């Protein structure tokens, strides 16, 4: 490895640690935008149930999982971050839910760091669902073989390709050249065995983008606006005034979820600012296969390790069961077909965007 690559690999490692430190210590949430889930109301099915009558199990990546919840990819690529991935992985294994890792660029640049992503080996579980990760801008640089080797090294079941132009535009060492990314994502999906998932990092995905990926990839993880802003995280690193201007830029999560569901014909993950069992209830009721989260899981791990993550998600599951029971939904499939009331301002935005709600969801517009 030449001096330039050594320097670039070291820079990538340092950036990984800085990201975790900023999320742990600084305010990194949207300021002027919410997820718009407050505009979504799930209407009762009728006939209240006991929580014990409700089952949360569902499927993802052709495997059974115990709840419609996933842990989004966050970190890896530095010795100091191995423990975080291991602890989160231990909780995900016990809960039987999917987990993602952070961008594997660091281990591609420095294969010694592969162990920091190898959650299956660290937890002694080959059965858990593990999702790899690479940036769309780097996908243009790496050929399929290198991606396949990176996934094989950690026994990943799928790969998430994250598109993050907002973050890269503010990041001091950011790469804003996404030319050819769409074509490479489609080529990757055809050229490797693992399913490909497109995901954002907190700025959302529109119906127009989702439409282009119909029949091209396995799933879309919307990662909408309203939770953590990676533009904000990079603003702390760069001290850029431009970052402050675009801090709240993005498509809000409820809107992005509905838009993608209206245009894409594969599994959709609702994510970005998911913070409660009610958020999960609403995301699934809109039609999402899963809801995923990152920041609250990271903070739970930093507070109390694997137990902190397990307790946090277990409480979400208990809350989701309780809410479903109150509304009369005995399982996740029933919840996905719920009647959903869309209130203002989301209702007007959907009309303006000419988004057709999926008739299966029997969604209706209403006023607050």
Q: 1 with 7: CB under 8 angstroms?
A: no
pTM of the model: 0.95
pLDDT tens, residue order, the chain (368 aa):
444 446 777 888 889 999 999 999 999 999 999 999 999 999 999 888 999 999 999 999 999 999 999 999 999 999 999 999 999 999 999 999 999 999 999 999 999 999 999 999 999 999 999 999 999 999 989 999 999 999 999 999 999 999 999 999 999 888 888 999 999 999 999 999 999 999 999 999 999 999 999 999 999 999 999 999 999 999 999 987 889 999 999 999 999 999 999 999 999 999 999 999 999 999 999 999 999 999 999 999 999 999 999 999 999 999 999 999 999 999 999 999 999 999 999 999 999 999 977 655 445 555 43
Each domain of the chain, given as residue ranges in start order, spans 3-365
- Residues 340, 58, 56, 315: is their CA dihedral positive or negative? negative
Torsion of CA 162, 217, 157, 336, to 10 degrees: 90
Q: How far apart are CA 168 and CA 223, in angstroms?
A: 16
CATH class of 3-365: alpha beta
- Interval 80-118: pLDDT, tens: 999 999 999 999 999 999 999 999 999 999 999 999 999
Backbone angles phi, psi at 341, to 5 degrees: -95, 125
Q: What pairs with residue 364 in β-bridges?
A: 341
Q: How far apart are CA 243 and CA 228, in angstroms?
A: 14
């Amino acid at each position: 490895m030449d001096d330039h690559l050594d320097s670039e690999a070291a820079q990538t490692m340092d950036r990984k640690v800085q990201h975790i430190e900023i999320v742990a210590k600084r305010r990194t949430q949207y300021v002027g935008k919410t997820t718009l889930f407050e505009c979504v109301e799930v209407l009762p099915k009728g006939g209240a149930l006991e929580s014990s009558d409700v089952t949360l199990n569902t499927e993802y990546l052709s495997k059974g999982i115990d709840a419609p919840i996933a842990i989004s990819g966050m970190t890896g690529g530095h010795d100091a971050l191995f423990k975080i991935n291991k602890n989160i992985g231990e909780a995900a294994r016990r809960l039987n839910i999917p987990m993602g890792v952070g961008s594997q660029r660091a281990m591609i640049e420095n294969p010694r760091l592969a162990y920091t992503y190898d959650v299956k080996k660290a937890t002694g579980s080959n059965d858990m669902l593990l999702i790899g990760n690479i940036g769309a801008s780097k996908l243009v640089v790496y050929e399929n073989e290198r991606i396949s080797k990176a996934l094989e090294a950690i026994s990943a079941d799928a790969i998430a390709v994250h598109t993050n132009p907002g973050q890269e535009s503010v990041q001091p060492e950011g790469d804003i050249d996404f030319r050819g990314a769409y074509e490479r994502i489609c080529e990757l999906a055809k050229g490797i065995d693992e399913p490909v998932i497109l995901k954002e990092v907190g700025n959302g995905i529109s119906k127009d983008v989702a439409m282009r990926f119909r029949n091209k990839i396995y799933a879309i993880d919307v990662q909408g606006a309203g939770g953590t802003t990676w533009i904000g995280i990079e603003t702390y690193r760069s001290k850029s005034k431009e970052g402050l201007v675009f801090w709240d830029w993005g498509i809000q999560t409820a809107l992005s979820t509905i838009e993608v569901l209206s245009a894409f014909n594969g599994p959709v993950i609702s994510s970005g600012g998911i913070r409660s069992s009610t958020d999960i209830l609403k995301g699934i009721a809109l039609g999402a296969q899963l809801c995923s989260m990152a920041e609250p899981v990271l903070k739970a791990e930093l507070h109390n390790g694997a137990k902190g993550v397990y307790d946090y998600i277990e409480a979400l599951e208990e809350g989701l069961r309780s809410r479903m029971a109150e509304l009369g939904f005995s399982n996740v499939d029933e919840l996905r077909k719920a009647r959903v009331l869309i209130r203002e301002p989301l209702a007007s935005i959907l009309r303006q965007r000419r988004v057709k709600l999926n008739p299966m969801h029997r969604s209706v517009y209403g006023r607050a």
